[in-house]
């Protein structure tokens, strides 16, 4: 193999990975799998895809070795191959927000049209947690919370929040978080909490980004 053939092979393999991610549904699937393992049926439900379509997208990601399967008896669950897959996805997202003005405008305009509140960064949250006068609220589905969550976070899924407001202290600030900056569970939670008279805001990013920085996390086994 000469130098040109070598470069063509290497860059070709790298292009295969980027090509496998070059689809909006597959990008959403990667973000979802950064939370926990899911079956194809669960992925289809969360992404509003048909089971057949979700399965096809998963096969593309699997051929590129970005996802792998975990067999549990008669059930098959999909998961990210390793944390570098989410790192690559996050780098692409961050580059897009930084360099493509349309993305930032879409996020900003969406939030402005529906919500009116500030977000907090990871560093902001760490300082608030040190002060002790803050309640951290995970509003993702309970199954994702059990797989992993920010240490000391309380789990109230967004679809249960309106009925469980009495579980939250009135005096403390509430910081809600969900799957990431494009996830609106936390936005809906802050809107609901604010309307009910709570002081609330959302974490700018989500659990996967927190975990990626090796900040304190917990797993619920029961």
Is 3-85 a CATH 1.10.10.10 domain?
yes
Average pLDDT of 32-61?
Answer: 97
183 is catalytic: no
* pTM for this prediction: 0.90
Sign of the torsion formed by the C-alpha atoms of 61, 144, 89 and 215: negative
Catalytic residue among 21, 43, 156, 178: 178
Q: What does the pLDDT read at residue 106?
A: 86
**Angle at which helices 101-114 and 83-99 pack, to 10 degrees?**
90
The pLDDT of residue 75 is 92
C-alpha distance from residue 169 to each of 31, 34, 103, 161, 197 (Å): 31, 30, 36, 13, 11
In whole angstroms, give the CA distance from residue 208 to residue 178.
9
pLDDT in tens, 158-206: 999 999 999 999 888 999 999 999 999 999 999 999 999 999 999 999 9
Give me the pLDDT at residue 171, please: 85
Confidence of residue 13 (pLDDT cuts 50, 70, 90): very high
* Residue 157 predicted with pLDDT over 80: yes
Which homologous superfamily is 112-218 in? Rhodanese-like domain (3.40.250.10)
The predicted structure's pLDDT at residue 114: 67
Residue 156 DSSP symbol? -
State the span(s) of the chain assigned CATH 1.10.10.10.
Answer: 3-85
Q: Provide the Cα torsion 194, 156, 203, 212; round to 10°.
A: 180
pLDDT category at 222 given cuts 50, 70, 90 is low
- Span(s) in the chain for CATH 3.40.250.10: 112-218
């Amino acid at each position: 193999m000469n130098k040109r053939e070598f470069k063509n092979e290497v860059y070709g393999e790298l292009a295969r990975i980027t090509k496998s991610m070059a689809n909006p549904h597959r990008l959403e699937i990667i973000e979802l799998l950064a939370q926990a393992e899911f079956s194809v049926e669960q992925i289809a439900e969360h992404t509003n895809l048909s089971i057949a379509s979700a399965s096809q997208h998963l096969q593309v990601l699997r051929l590129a070795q970005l996802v792998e399967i975990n067999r549990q008896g008669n059930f098959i669950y999909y998961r990210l191959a390793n944390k570098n897959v989410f790192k690559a996805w996050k780098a692409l997202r961050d580059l897009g927000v930084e360099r493509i003005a349309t993305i930032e405008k879409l996020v900003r305009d969406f939030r402005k049209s529906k919500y009116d509140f500030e977000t907090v960064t990871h560093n902001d949250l760490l300082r608030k947690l040190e002060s002790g006068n803050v309640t951290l609220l995970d509003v993702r589905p309970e199954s994702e919370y059990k797989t992993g969550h920010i240490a000391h976070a309380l789990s109230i899924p967004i679809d249960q929040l309106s009925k469980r407001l009495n579980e939250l202290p009135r005096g403390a600030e509430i910081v809600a978080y969900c799957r990431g900056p494009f996830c609106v569970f936390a936005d809906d939670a802050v809107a609901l909490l604010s309307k009910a008279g709570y002081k609330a805001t959302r974490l700018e990013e989500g659990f996967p980004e927190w975990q990626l920085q090796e900040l304190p996390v917990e797993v619920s086994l029961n």
